[in-house]
Amino acid sequence: MKPGRGLVVEVKEKTCILFTADGRFLEVPLPRKGTEIGQEIIINRSLVSRIIPFLAAASFLLTFLAWALFNLFVPRAAAYIALDINPSIELGVNEREYIISARGLNADGNWLLQKVRVVKLPLEEGLQKIIAGAVKYRYLEPGAGNIILATVTDTGSEFDIEISEIYQFIHKQVKYQGISAELVVAEVDKELYRQARDKGVTPGRYLLQREAGRKGIHITDKELQTAKIRELEKKKKIKASELVKNRYNGEQPKQRVEKKPALSKDRVKPESASSHEDLPRDGIKGAGESNPAKRAGLEEGRAKGDGQNKLRKHGKEKDKSVQHDRSAGDKERSRAKVNSRAQAR
């Protein structure tokens, strides 16, 4: 029977209760490595011990309500982060960048998640704990040829997590642990994610198999699921970092610089409107109609200047008149003197 998946809602001594996406509660044997509430696990239908009776005979309405409850209490992930260390782990992240689900995709992944609890933690903290746990339990060792392959899948919500952010989260913890590791982080689409999930592997491993196949190198499903990535590289003579396209190389993204269009030779840069607004009809800069107060002040000053000019002109005319009167008086006095001398003779 084709395996499905379910969310652990109760853990018993030897079994656990799962809530499936089709609205059923299933009781299955407890996984060998154990599990915890909130963890999503793969279901082998042949191992289902019983279906909770009242839901087995549920009507269509009850199934619909159960599906609504599934979506209410188990929020859909906004993105999935998959890690291959050798433990293969998938994390579901909500729009606040909190881990809402964690599942192992192989035996080592399940075991590590039992030792390292990451559900409900911020994504950065969860990734740090996984890397620290991988070092503690010797999945990552100093001096060894370590490789970490991570993929990011956006589920189509408005939330958009950057692969550069995932790279920095992991790189910082690797450096803190004092180990060296090749870090390959890439973004994959939902279709590739779905195909990888159908095979029960991470998108990163599935991507290696697909790209190697395009180069004529065959990787079996068993090798894909069980072999370490370094073992695959050595055996198949491949390089994971070369097969994974569009991977993030650790560089900071360049900021876009908007270029202003250059003016062509036949185009003249237009003058600003303000340069014309501030020029009045008489050509005085800064006294335009857009500034009436300034205009009025200048006109008042100009009027005063005109008045002063008129006074000066009037003064000059008055001086000329006085001088004319003085010269006329002098002439009259000269004539009087001449007449008086003639009469005396």
What pLDDT, in 10s, does the model give residues 210-253?
999 999 999 999 999 899 999 999 999 999 989 987 788 666 54
Alpha helices in 145-202 (DSSP H): 163-176, 190-199
Q: Which 3 state secondary structure label does DSSP give 7?
A: strand
Torsion of CA 172, 176, 177, 180, to 10 degrees: 60
Which of the four pLDDT bands, split at 50, 70 and 90, describes residue 30?
confident
Which of the four pLDDT bands, split at 50, 70 and 90, describes residue 12?
confident
Burial 4-13 (b: 16+ CB within 10 A, else e): bebbbeeeee
Please give the span between the terminal C-alpha atoms of the chain, in angstroms, as a whole number: 167
CATH of 1-74, one of 2.30.30, 2.60.40, 2.40.50, 2.40.10: 2.40.50
The pair of structure tokens assigned to 313 is: 């002109």
Q: What is the C-alpha separation between 262 and 75, in angstroms, rounded?
A: 51
What pLDDT, in 10s, does the model give residues 123-164?
999 999 999 999 999 999 988 789 999 999 998 766 778 899
pLDDT at site 237: 94
User: pLDDT at residue 113 above 90?
Assistant: yes
Report DSSP letters for 94-134, one per residue.
Answer: -TTSBEEEEEESSHHHHHHHHHS--TTSBHHHHHHHHHHHH
What pLDDT, in 10s, does the model give residues 286-304?
334 445 555 555 555 565 5
- Does residue 18 contact residue 26 with C-beta atoms inside 8 Å? yes
Q: Which long-range contacts (CB under 8 A, 24 or more apart) does 143-147 make?
A: 143/180, 145/182, 145/230, 146/179, 146/180, 146/181, 146/182, 147/84, 147/181, 147/182, 147/183, 147/184, 147/229, 147/230, 147/240
pTM: 0.56
Backbone angles phi, psi at 216, to 5 degrees: 85, 15
Burial of 26 (0-12, 13-18, 19+ CB in 10 A): buried
CA 198 to chain centre: 30
What pLDDT, in 10s, does the model give residues 185-221?
999 999 999 999 888 899 999 999 999 999 999 999 9
**Quick one: the chain helix, strand, coil %, rounded to 5?**
45, 20, 35
pLDDT at site 22: 73
Give the residue from 165, 81, 86, 63 showing the smallest Cα distance to 118: 81
